[in-house]
Amino acid sequence: MTNFEGEFNLEVIDEDQILVFSYLGFKTQEKLVGSETDFLITLDEDAQALEEVVVVGYGTQKKANLTGAVSQVSSDAIEDRPITNLSSGLQGLMPGVTVTGASGAPGNNGGDIRIRGIGTWGNSNPLIVIDGIPGGNLNILNPQDIESISVLKDAASSSIYGVRGANGVILITTKSGTAGKPTLSYNSYYGVQTPTALPDRLGSPEYMELLNEAQVNVGRNPTYTADEIQIAREGTDLNYYANTNWIEEVYKDYAPQQNHNLSVNGGQEDFNYYLSYGLLKEEGLVVGNNYESQRHNVRAKLNTTVLDRIDISSNIGYIDRNYIGSAAGTGPLYQALTIIPLVPVRNTEGGWGYIGGSSNPVAVATDSGTNDFSSEEFTGNVQAAINLFKGFLIRGRYGLVKYNSRRNLFERTINYYSPDTGDLVWQTGYPNKITTSSYKGTYQTFVGTAEYDRTFADTHHITALLGISQEETVNDDLEASRTNLSSSSVGHINLGTENQLNDGSNAQNALQSVFGRLNYGYKDKYLAEINFRYDGSSRFAEDVRWELFSAASIGWVFTEEGFLRDNNLLDFGKIRASYGTQGNDQIANWAYMDILGPVNTMPIGDQLTIGYRQTVVGNQLLTWESAEKANLGIDLAFFNNRLTTTADYFVNTTENILLRLPIPDVFGGPDYPYQNAGSVENRGWEFQMGWRDDINDFSYSLDFNISDVKNKVTDLGGTEPTIGDRVRMEGEPLDAFYGLVADRIAQESDFTYNAEDDSYTPNFPYIQGDPVQPGDLIYRDLNGDGEVDLVNDRKVIGSHIPRYTYGFRGSMAYKGFDLNFFLQGVGEVNGLLTGSARHAFISESAMPQEIHLDRWTPGNTDATYPRLTYQQSYNQRLSTYWLEDASYLRLKNVQIGYTLPTGLSEKFKAERFRAYVSAENLFTVSDYFYGYDPESPVSSGSFYPQVKTFTVGLNINLK
């Protein structure tokens, strides 16, 4: 500890000891004792602690002066985690940001990001802006290249992006060089992946017994005799009575993953650079080695200052990626649920096992062919900024995104032979086929801005931004296919001999914009901001092409008032309010035009002829979806800024959503044209709290966030609700679950028994036509008319949209040791598993699992599953009985590391040497169905499983 002047006196015996200097609000420094006896230490202010800068649209702002709702995380939130894409890395880090639907498939495992709910049944994806260039793919970026990620959630922060900001905006800033000697960094990890959850199937004897029971329950004769069941139990006939655990046969025990990153950065006062290379390799969990991926990321970022007033920067990224899957997609994973266990993987003659029905999933995973996707993507932007005079800056940026992708889908023939005679008994994928697709695209943009930033009389702070932009996207796709390849092992279009077909498509769109922003601050106490964007989109007809979007926000830093300035508890307090409009133009490119397309007609003279007909009816009045957003927030800091809190309340309404409204049948022709008619509302709140402190050699930080979103459809444009298992109904969540309300499983006491014909008559309302018996579900008669039907007795019973999302991060460090953990979860959300994923014997391909052993029988009346009924599914209708609680709490990441003391690492010419172990998705607490992951709550089982990842890694910085 020092005195009030910062002076200290220490007795140190060992010259290799390290002195650590730290103070709240300043960056920690380490100093080797050596032979020195006097030290003059100057600590640098920690900008994050004192005046954190937040990236916003077309610029940055001090966090203290923000009047909009913006959340930001820095690179330390995702560094060293074994994440392969940024969407999964964002999950749970910021309030109001939800990620769902992620799988563990190598190279293709990104999730769906939603900001403050789902605002449309069209495209709900937020706008991605990477280093100022809109429209990028965040899931192919190298996480090690990321400096910060900002999420713009309200109109005040995102309306400057106009027609594309309605679903929120995610701003990604990549790392830049820093002045100083060159620093070489190497970061690497090696890990293994295992599934978070897999279903447990029953063996052959149990399958045969339960199948017989299900058949007898519906009045049919049983399939298997006792002798046949005994053969399966003893394993004396491996060709027709095997006992195969298909889950174990299809999935490997683990899949390796490795990541290597090398970067160099450095520079001088007027020049800096950042160069990086990253390699990510993933292998798959499915047998056959058809599931794997590889990605190379290269980035070069240069910044220089010329003539003390011209700043020039260039940022170039190159991505070369490839992922391979089975030609059958996730077919082998679904077939592992649907094939009977009596089938062997291979018969006694070495051929693929086959009895009938579903194809052999191991054969499909191994021999059905490959789906090989490769892509080369170039991103670049060049920027120049000229400081004309004090406070006035002109900036110009040109951005280019170009991709060249290719897919080879090689579908091979699988032959199944009889183990008795050697005859061909079944064949799939005949004739073999190759489909080659080429996808090319170019996106170009130019952005020019004029920026003004001045403070007058130390009181009035004004910043202004005025800009123009031009964007153009051109996509060109081509596809060709052939069958009867001369080789069954090599797939190339040139080897195909028959059915030579081709197809192609082209899409273009453009956007022109004028935008601006004006900020005013009085003594950093009273804050105001207005911004606008005037957009013209080629997706709409000329008369409705242009629209103005704007927003206004105010802020009051009440701790700058005299009556609070000298208090010892509250360091900072600010109230924010905003309101504004935004748009969404993510519709088909030519939806306002009448489109003609080719169709096959009758042959003429043995020649196939081609004709044209109208395939799309345009709507000249079609325009963008519009969003109105209101936000009220408060930011607080206590105890010398160690405790910080942020809270927001918001109401977002999206109107003019595209709908196909019915028109008179005399219209004829193709589908009804789209019209702007629907409306959806998202209303909720967010809360975030953080604590940071140092206690001698121990430092730690804790961050918690939670958000609540209520989603509902408010207008269907006069159309009738969409009724099915999922509905769009006014006053209810979008695509809500719509089903029956189940009371319980019926018992014999709920029926009147007739001994003469051995029949049961239910004493409760039921659906007419259902052969209801004891052991079936009792559904509630909601309208009280004495019977249950699917028109009057169904209701909204749940939603797949999470009501609550939350996350909790902790970081601790002590003398070189560090511990980081991250908990994440969702609450009040439902899931639904259908078909073979959840049920048994409702079809020939619905196999029993261990949970089906607890089915209703006269001797097991408190069962959890209704009686088994062969090829009947009236018990499995969507109802509250089958709706899953998809809420969960997950240890998303935990990491333990050790950093060598500076004195020791310097002996190896290293500034930093850290080793760590990490685990991702280590455990989950949930009531969701045992065999599947709640992060993907709606499934029929045809889904690559979510994975746990265990890694060991190194972080090395060389001087």
Question: Each residue of 194-223: pLDDT tens digit?
Answer: 999 999 999 999 999 999 999 999 999 999
Q: What is the pLDDT of residue 562?
A: 84
**3-state SS assignment for residue 850:** helix
Give pLDDT tens digits for 589-611: 778 888 887 777 667 777 777 78
Report the pLDDT value the prediction gives residue 150, as an integer from 0 to 100. Answer: 93
Q: CA–CA separation, 327 vs 414, rounded Å?
A: 12
- Which residue from 503, 478, 481, 477 is spatially nearest to 492, judged by alpha carbons? 481
Q: Which residues pair with 288 in a beta bridge?
A: none
- Mean pLDDT of all residues in the chain? 90
Alpha-carbon distance of 74 to 48, in angstroms, equals 10
Nearest Cα neighbor of 775 from 224, 213, 211, 225 is 213
Instruction: Kindly report the length of the chain.
Output: 959
Name the residue type at position 604. I
Other CB atoms within a 10 A radius of the CB of residue 75 amount to 17
Strand partners, 860: 857
Of the two residues 39 and 209, the one the predictor is more confident about is 209
What pLDDT sits at residue 7? Answer: 61
Smallest Cα–Cα separation from 642: which of 562, 596, 686, 700? 700
Residue 80: count of CB within 10 angstroms of its CB: 23
Among 76-90, 270-284, 294-308, 677-691, which stretch is predicted with the lowest mean pLDDT? 76-90
User: What is the 8-class DSSP label of residue 769?
Assistant: T
Of 570, 531, 534, 567, nearest in space to 551 by CA: 531
**Cβ contacts of 788 within 8 Å, gap of 6 or more:** 740, 765, 766, 767, 779, 780, 781
Which pLDDT band, with edges at 50, 70 and 90, does 64 fall under? confident
Give percent of the chain with pLDDT exceeding 90. 68
The structure tokens listed for 238 are 């491996």
Q: At what angle do helices 226-234 and 204-217 cross, to 10 degrees?
A: 160
Residue 518: φ, ψ to 5°: -130, 125
Q: How many Cβ atoms are within 10 Å of 303's Cβ, its own excluded?
A: 18
- pLDDT category at 31 given cuts 50, 70, 90 is low
Smallest CA-to-CA distance from 212 within 228, 200, 199, 201 is with: 228
915 CB neighbour count, 10 Å cutoff? 14
What is the predicted pLDDT for the residue at 478? Answer: 96
Q: Is 832:940 a contact under the CB 8 Å cutoff? A: no
Q: Assess contact for 126 and 168: CB atoms under 8 A.
A: yes
* The pLDDT of residue 3: 45
**pLDDT grade, residue 23 (50/70/90)?**
very low
The whole-angstrom separation of Cα 746 and Cα 769 is 17
Structure tokens of 8? 């200290």
User: What tokens appear for 511 in the block?
Assistant: 């956007």
pLDDT tens for 878-934 read: 999 999 999 999 999 999 999 999 888 887 778 889 999 999 999 999 999 999 999
Q: Of 317, 443, 300, 288, nearest to 376 (Cα)?
A: 317
Report the alpha-carbon angle 401-404-410, nearest 5: 150
pLDDT confidence of residue 909:
79
The Cα 3–Cα 12 span in angstroms is: 19
> pLDDT-derived band of residue 80, with 50, 70 and 90 as boundaries?
confident
Read off the pLDDT of residues 82-109 as tens digits, 9 standing for 90 and up.
Answer: 888 888 888 899 999 998 877 788 888 8
23: which residues sit within 8 A by CB, 6+ positions away?
Answer: 43
Which residues, other chains included, contact 337 with Cβ-Cβ below 8 Å and sequence gap of 6+?
Answer: 199, 201, 246, 836, 837, 845, 847, 941
What residues contact 7, with CB distance under 8 A and at least 6 apart? none
* pLDDT the model gives residue 1: 46
pLDDT higher than threshold 70 for residue 376: yes
Tell me if residue 774 falls in helix, strand or coil.
coil
Peptide bond into 361 cis (omega under 30): no
Residue 128 buriedness (CB in 10 A; 0-12 / 13-18 / 19+): buried
Calculate mean pLDDT across residues 567-573.
87
Sequence-ordered strand ranges (E) for 843-941: 884-885, 888-899, 910-920, 924-926, 938-939
SS3 155: helix
- Give me the mean pLDDT over the 496-511 stretch: 91
| pTM of the entire predicted model | 0.89
Enumerate the β-bridge partners of residue 152: 70, 169
Distance CA 121, CA 800 (A): 14
Cα–Cα distance, 918 to 388 (Å, whole number): 50
Provide the sign of the torsion angle of the four alpha carbons 510, 514, 520, 526, taken in this order: negative
Residue 662, pLDDT score: 72
Mean pLDDT across 689-718: 93
Q: Look up residue 875 and give its DSSP letter.
A: G
Close Cβ partners of 31 (under 8 Å, ≥ 6 residues apart): 18, 19, 21, 39, 41
- pLDDT band of residue 40 (cuts 50, 70, 90) is low
Distance CA 467, CA 132 (A): 13
CB of 362 closer than 8 Å to CB of 249: yes
With residue 474 as reference, give the H or E element that holds it.
strand 460-483
- Cα distances (angstroms) measured from residue 886 to each of 91, 177, 889: 16, 44, 10
What pLDDT is stored for residue 675 in this prediction? 85
Per-residue pLDDT reduced to its tens digit, 415-440: 999 999 999 999 999 999 999 999 99
Structure tokens at 446: 């130019």
